[in-house]
Structure formats: structure tokens, C-alpha cells
């Protein structure tokens, strides 16, 4: 007896499923028949399914990660803020435009924007003696001259500026006022001005 095969679906493959396949063969003699179990045929069908197994397909593609790193910043202190001789009881001011003004040079990626901040002393010191300093004033420019420079107030707050288009420079000029007391002790007073500069990413 032969049952009609059924269709099955697995992993996108169509299977013909044969169950209980028996073959009935009729001999030449009409009144005689022989039943033969088709086990060999079942095994052959299974072998065909195994031979048709699918191999996983894999493909690859590449892309790149890219970046352009800008020039690292270089800072140079090029001149001290020099008040020279100061007299007790008489305040003295050095303007950013004066030859005695403090000077810094910044070098980096042309056109890039930088954020400038200062750490400033409140006193110049001579031993245990303090000489008050304040009223800070500044100029910054793309070239090493004060003409046409941009005014700013040096402080811990950020001052933004763009480095020069071709050279990547920025020049800073710093002035301030010292206020000696009437009984200010004589001596050589000093202090430290610190400039901090970072790229903003703009």
C-alpha cells in the first residue's frame, strides 16, 4: 500500500515525506501477490535530503574611520610684566600697549578657536612683604603688534579668540597696576602670571 506523500517545510527547503511505504508487487500469476517493505527506498530518500543541506552564506564589507588631528597648542611667555622702580604710596600702571607689558605667544591650528584663561596673583611678594597688584588689562592680536588688537580683561573667565588664518599665531599683551603702601618695604617684588589655553573644537 502506498500513501500519498505530504509536503513539509523546514529552513526554506521543501521536503517530500514518505511514511510507511510498502510496495505491493504482483507476480505474473494473477492470483498471487507479494508484499515487500521499501526500507531501502526510505533510506535513499533520507540520503537525498542530507545531500541537499544548505551552507550558511557570509559576506563582508569594509568602511574606514577617518579623522584629521589639528596642530597641538604651543604657549610661550616672551616678556615679563615689568613695573620697574615703584615708590611707596604711589600707584604705578603698565598698559598693555607699553613696551614693559607682559607678552605671550600662542601657536596652533590656523583659524581654530581657543579658550584663554588666566591665573593671576593678587600680590607681588618680597619675602613676607606683599605689594598689591590688580586692574588687569589685556590685548590680543594675530600679529605681534598692539595696533588693531582686541581688548580683553585677563581673568579666570574664558576669553575666546581665533588663531591667525595662515600662521596659527595669537599674541597677547598684559598690563596691570601695583599699589604700594606708604610704608612699603623696599625690595624686589615678584609674582607669577599663568596663561591657560585650550581648543574649543570650533
Partner 1 sequence: MHVRRLLGLMALGAALVASPMDLHAQTVVGIQNLAFGNVVPGVPTSVLKTDPVRSGQIRISGAGFFRSVTVRFTLPTVMNGPSGATMPITFLNTDAGISWQSTITTQTTFDPNAPFTYTLWLGAGVVYLGGRVNPSPAQLGGTYAGTIILTVILN
Interface with partner 1 includes 57 (CB under 8 A)?
yes
Separation of first and last alpha carbons in the chain: 85
Interface with partner 1 includes 115 (CB under 8 A)?
no
Site string for partner 1, 154-183 (x = CB under 8 A): ------------------------------
Site string for partner 1, 16-55 (x = CB under 8 A): x-x--x-xxx------------x--x--xx--xx-xx-x-
Q: What angle do CA 176, 179, 184 make, to 5 degrees?
A: 140
Taking CB under 8 A as the criterion, the residue among 28, 34, 64, 85 binding partner 1 is 64
Q: What angle do CA 174, 180, 183 make, to 5 degrees?
A: 165
Cα–Cα distance for residue pair 9/15, rounded to 1 Å: 6
Taking CB under 8 A as the criterion, the residue among 27, 68, 85, 122 binding partner 1 is 68
| Coil vs helix vs strand at 44 | helix
Report residue 44 as a C-alpha cell. Answer: 535513499
- Number of residues interacting with partner 1: please give it, by CB under 8 A: 46
Q: Is residue 7 within 8 Å of residue 14, measured between CB atoms?
A: yes
Residue with Cβ nearer partner 1 (93 or 202): 202
Residue with Cβ nearer partner 1 (26 or 87): 26
Q: Is residue 137 within 8 Å of residue 176, measured between CB atoms?
A: yes
Residue with cell 590685548: 139
Residues in contact with partner 1 by the rule CB under 8 A: 2, 5, 11-16, 18, 21, 23-25, 38, 41, 44-45, 48-49, 51-52, 54, 56-73, 109, 112, 198-201
Amino acid at each position: 500500500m502506498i500513501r500519498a506523500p505530504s509536503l513539509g517545510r523546514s529552513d526554506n527547503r521543501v521536503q517530500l515525506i514518505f511514511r510507511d511505504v510498502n510496495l505491493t508487487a504482483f507476480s505474473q500469476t494473477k492470483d498471487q501477490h507479494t508484499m515487500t517493505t521499501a526500507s531501502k527506498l526510505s533510506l535513499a530518500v533520507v540520503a537525498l535530503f542530507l545531500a541537499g543541506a544548505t551552507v550558511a552564506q557570509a559576506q563582508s564589507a569594509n568602511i574606514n574611520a577617518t579623522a584629521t588631528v589639528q596642530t597641538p597648542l604651543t604657549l610661550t611667555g616672551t616678556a615679563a610684566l615689568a613695573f620697574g622702580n615703584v615708590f611707596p604710596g604711589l600707584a604705578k600702571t603698565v598698559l598693555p600697549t607699553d613696551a614693559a607689558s607682559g607678552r605671550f605667544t600662542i601657536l596652533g591650528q590656523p583659524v581654530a578657536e581657543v579658550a584663554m584663561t588666566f591665573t593671576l596673583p593678587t600680590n607681588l611678594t618680597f619675602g613676607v612683604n606683599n605689594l598689591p597688584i590688580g586692574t588687569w588689562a589685556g590685548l590680543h592680536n594675530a600679529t605681534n603688534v598692539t595696533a588693531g588688537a582686541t581688548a580683553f580683561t585677563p581673568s579666570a573667565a574664558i576669553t575666546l579668540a581665533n588663531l591667525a588664518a595662515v600662521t596659527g599665531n595669537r599674541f597677547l599683551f598684559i598690563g596691570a597696576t601695583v599699589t604700594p603702601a606708604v610704608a612699603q618695604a623696599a625690595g624686589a617684588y615678584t609674582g607669577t602670571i599663568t596663561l591657560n589655553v585650550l581648543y574649543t573644537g570650533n
